[in-house]
Structures are given as C-alpha cells and as structure tokens.
Amino acid sequence: MRGIIFATQKNSTSLNNLLIHQKERIAYISPGERTNRDKEAIFFRRAVKLSLCHGACSEVDSDTEAVAGKGFKLGCISCKMRPEVEASATVNWYFKAKGEAEFAHIYNYDEEGPHIVDERFEERVDWNGSKRSQDIQDASIYLFNVTFNDSGTYSCHFHRLLTYEFYEYQTVVSKLVHLKVVAKATRGTASIVSEVMMYVSIIGLQAWLYIEMVYCFRKISAAGEEALRESANAEYLAIASESKDNCAGVQVAE
C-alpha cells in the first residue's frame, strides 16, 4: 500500500515538473520566433476571411445571339489567378459595328461608378457585373431595346492592379464578343438535342416501369395460384382422411 502511494506521489511530482517546464518554455520564446508565429496567425486569419468572403470564379463565354427589341446581357468575366491577392480594377467596353474599321469607346466603369461614353448607347446600358467591390471580376453589361445596329464586335478590357506586400503589379485582360441580332430567336443545336434526350429518357423510364409492373403482377398471380393449389390439396387430404376415419368407425360398429 505504501509502495502504491509513493508511486502515485512520484508521478504527480513528475507531471507538475513537466507543466512548469512547459510554461517556462512558452514564457521565454525568442522575439524572432514570436514574430514568425504572429505572421503565421495573421496569414491564417486572412486566408480564412478570404475563403469565406470570396466565392468561386468561373469564366463563362457570353451568348452571341440577341433578339431585336428585347434586352441582352453581354458577358465578360476575368478571374484572378490567385483569389487571395488584393486587387482593384476598372473596365472599359468598346464596340465596332459591321463595316467599321476601328473600335469606339462606349462604356466605362471605375471606382466612381458607370459612365456611358457613346451617345448611341445612352440610357440603354446598365452595369450587370460585380457590385459593391473594386475587385471587379465580372464586367458584364446589359443592353436594353437591342436594335440591328447593335450587331458587331464588342471588346471588354480589364485594367487590374494587383497589390502585394511589397509591390504592385498591373495587368490588362481583353475579351471579344461577336454579337448577332436576329428578328426572332432561333433554337440552337444543343437545345434541340437536350430536348430530344429528355423525351427519350421519359419514354425509357415509362417503358421500364411498365415492364416492372407486368413482372410483379405475374409473380404475385403465380404465388396466389400456388397458394390456392396448396390450400385445395390440404382440404382434399383432410376430407379423405375424415372419410377414411368414418369408414373405419362404421366397420367397427358392425
């Protein structure tokens, strides 16, 4: 009993010494090591904040066919290679109609907001891209009351300033949209194929369901007939046994 108490006291003393040594080690961290740990903590907090605040960016091509008299969205998306890098951007849209040789500046969007430059698009263009942020990755615009004169090539330019810890870096990204204006909407090949596949899938599922119903019905019917036959056989055997017993009783009585 004394040996157990002594061993317990010894283990408790060792644990206390270990805790004291660990506290002393934490208390005497060198300034350089403490600075590195602070930097790691700041980087981790920033990474978590960026991952929560910024969604995934995907560059999708714009539609290229608009219907006269209706609205149309000119898509233009340019994603950053490194989402965690702080950035600011301004956007400029240019337009070259059919038969023209040069692009004309029609629209600008910067930290002060949107500006329509070309009179042909006055009160017909609305910003449809990134909102409440200078870090613009979606520079789409929306055209109201599209006309046949809007057919042509549109050029979207991103002027992006990437801000790193010790320097800044400027990039320019441009994208082209070849717009065709038609009187009536035409269905694309992909739309037709998808609709055909939808109907084929529906018909196939209905056929499979019908086959399953027939199979289950036949299986249930066969099981019911088998049960009826077994019941009839059991009843026949019971009647035969009862008749045999009655005959034996009559013979004994005689």
Q: What is residue 164's predicted lDDT score, i.e. its pLDDT?
A: 92
Q: What is residue 149's predicted lDDT score, i.e. its pLDDT?
A: 93
Q: Which residues contact 143 (CB under 8 A, 6 or more apart)?
A: 66, 71, 72, 73, 74, 121, 124, 125, 150
Nearest to 138 by CA among 65, 64, 199, 80: 80
Residue 171's CB is within 10 A of a number of other CB atoms, namely: 14
Q: What is residue 18's predicted lDDT score, i.e. its pLDDT?
A: 43
Please give the mean pLDDT across all residues of the chain. 78
Query: What number of helices (H) and strands (E) belong to the chain?
Result: 3, 9
pLDDT per residue over 120-179, tens digit each?
999 999 999 998 888 899 999 999 999 999 999 999 999 999 999 899 999 999 999 999
Q: Which residues contact 210 (CB under 8 A, 6 or more apart)?
A: none
Q: What is residue 37's predicted lDDT score, i.e. its pLDDT?
A: 52
Q: Which residues contact 161 (CB under 8 A, 6 or more apart)?
A: 87, 88, 89, 168, 169, 170
Query: In terms of C-beta density within 10 A (0-12 exposed, 13-18 middle, 19 or more buried), how is residue 16 classed?
Result: exposed
pTM: 0.54
* Torsion sign across C-alpha atoms 130, 131, 134, 135: negative
Question: Higher confidence at residue 110 or residue 54?
Answer: 110
